Structure 1
Amino acid sequence: MKKKKYAIILICLLVIAIAIIAINIRIPKRISINQNISELSVTRGKDGVIQKIGDCDKIAGMINGIHVRTYSVVSILKGDASRTGWEYRLSYKDSDGKHKSIVISQSNIKYNGKSYTVEDTDIITDIINELAAVYSEYDSKIIKFNLTDLKNIIIKSNITSKKVTIDGKTLDDCIERLSKDNMPEKAKPDTERTLYKITFNYNDGTSEEILVYFGDVLMYKGKYYEACGNLCDVITENMN
Structure 2
Amino acid sequence: MKLGELAKDEEGDLKTLVFSQARFATATDAEGSTVNLGLGIRNRPDDVSMVGGNVFLDYRMTDYSDAHSRLGLGGEYLWKDFEFRNNWYMAITDTKNVIVDGVSYGERVVPGWDLEVGYRLPSNPELAFFVRGFNWDYKDRSDNSGIEGSVSWQATPHIGLEAFVSNEISAASTTANTDLPGTDETFFGLRMNITGNPVKFEKANYKKNMIAQMTQPVKRKYDVLLERSTGLVMEVGGE
Give TM class, smaller chain.
under 0.3
More strand by share: 2
More helix by share: 1
- Greater RCO between the two (CA within 8 Å, min separation 6)? 2
Q: TM-score, normalised by structure 2?
A: 0.19
